[in-house]
Amino acid sequence: MLAVLSPGQGAQKPGFLAPWLTLPGVEARLRWWSALSGVNLVHLGTDADAEEIRDTAKTQPLLVAAALLAAEQLPLYDVAVAAGHSVGELGAAALAGVISPDAAVTLAGVRGREMAAACALEATSMAAVLGGDPDEVVAAVEGLGLYAANRNGAGQIVAAGAVDALAKLADNLPAGARVRALSVAGAFHTPYMAPAERALAAVAAGITPSDPSRILLSNADGGAVNHGREMLQRLVRQVIAPVRWDLCMRNLADLGVTAVIELAPAGTLTGLLKRELKERGAPELVNLNTPDDLPAARDLIARHGAAPSHEPTPQFRVVVCPAAGTFSPDPELVEGDAIRDGQRIGRVITRQGPQDIVAHSAGTLTEWLADHDDPVAPGQPLARLGGAR
Based on the fold, state whether residues 92 and 196 are members of the same structural domain. yes
Q: What is the mean pLDDT of the chain?
A: 92
Based on the fold, state whether residues 340 and 286 are members of the same structural domain. no
- 239 is a domain residue: yes
- 309 is a domain residue: no
Instruction: Find the CATH number of the domain harbouring 376.
Output: 2.40.50.100
Based on the fold, state whether residues 98 and 77 are members of the same structural domain. yes
Task: Give pLDDT tens digits for 283-295.
Answer: 999 999 999 999 9
Based on the fold, state whether residues 209 and 94 are members of the same structural domain. yes
Tell me which of 162, 181, 200 is where a domain ends.
181
Based on the fold, state whether residues 113 and 130 are members of the same structural domain. no
Based on the fold, state whether residues 6 and 53 are members of the same structural domain. yes
- 254 is a domain residue: yes
- 53 is a domain residue: yes
- Whole-number percent of the chain with pLDDT over 90: 77
- 310 is a domain residue: no
Q: Residue type at 124?
A: T
Tell me what pLDDT residue 320 has.
80
Nearest to 160 by CA among 197, 194, 191: 191
- 368 is a domain residue: yes
pLDDT at 313 over 50: no
Tell me which of 135, 150, 181 is where a domain ends.
181
pLDDT at 17 over 90: yes
Based on the fold, state whether residues 207 and 260 are members of the same structural domain. yes
Tell me what pLDDT residue 351 has.
83
Distance between CA atoms of residues 89 and 26, nearest Å: 22
Tell me what pLDDT residue 341 has.
83
Based on the fold, state whether residues 46 and 113 are members of the same structural domain. yes
Tell me what pLDDT residue 388 has.
52
Based on the fold, state whether residues 287 and 324 are members of the same structural domain. no
- 186 is a domain residue: no
Tell me what pLDDT residue 316 has.
57
Q: Which residues are catalytic?
A: 86, 189
Give the other-Cβ count within 10 Å of 360's Cβ.
Answer: 18
Q: Do 296 and 285 form a contact (C-beta atoms < 8 A)?
A: no
3-state helix/strand/coil string of 31-58: HHHHHHHCCCHHHHHHCCCCCHHHCHHH
Question: In sequence order, which residues have a C-beta less than 8 Å from that of residue 30 and are 6 or more positions away?
Answer: 17, 21, 41, 42, 45, 65, 69
Instruction: Find the CATH number of the domain harbouring 50.
Output: 3.40.366.10
- 91 is a domain residue: yes
Based on the fold, state whether residues 334 and 361 are members of the same structural domain. yes
Instruction: Find the CATH number of the domain harbouring 169.
Output: 3.30.70.250
Based on the fold, state whether residues 209 and 352 are members of the same structural domain. no
Instruction: Give the pLDDT mean for 139-163.
Output: 96
Poorest-pLDDT segment among 12-16, 161-165, 316-320: 316-320
Instruction: Give the pLDDT mean for 145-149.
Output: 97
- Which residue did the predictor score with more confidence, 154 or 231? 231
Task: Give pLDDT tens digits for 44-77.
Answer: 999 999 999 999 999 999 999 999 999 999 999 8
Based on the fold, state whether residues 71 and 195 are members of the same structural domain. yes
Tell me what pLDDT residue 201 has.
97
pLDDT at 362 over 90: no
Distance between CA atoms of residues 149 and 46, nearest Å: 30
- Whole-number percent of the chain with pLDDT over 70: 96
Domain count, the chain: 3
pLDDT at 369 over 80: yes
Tell me what pLDDT residue 287 has.
98
Exposed/middle/buried for residue 214 (C-beta within 10 Å: 0-12, 13-18, 19+): buried
pTM: 0.83
Tell me what pLDDT residue 6 has.
98
Range of the domain at 168: 121-181
Distance between CA atoms of residues 51 and 38, nearest Å: 19
Tell me what pLDDT residue 188 has.
98
Tell me which of 134, 158, 181 is where a domain ends.
181
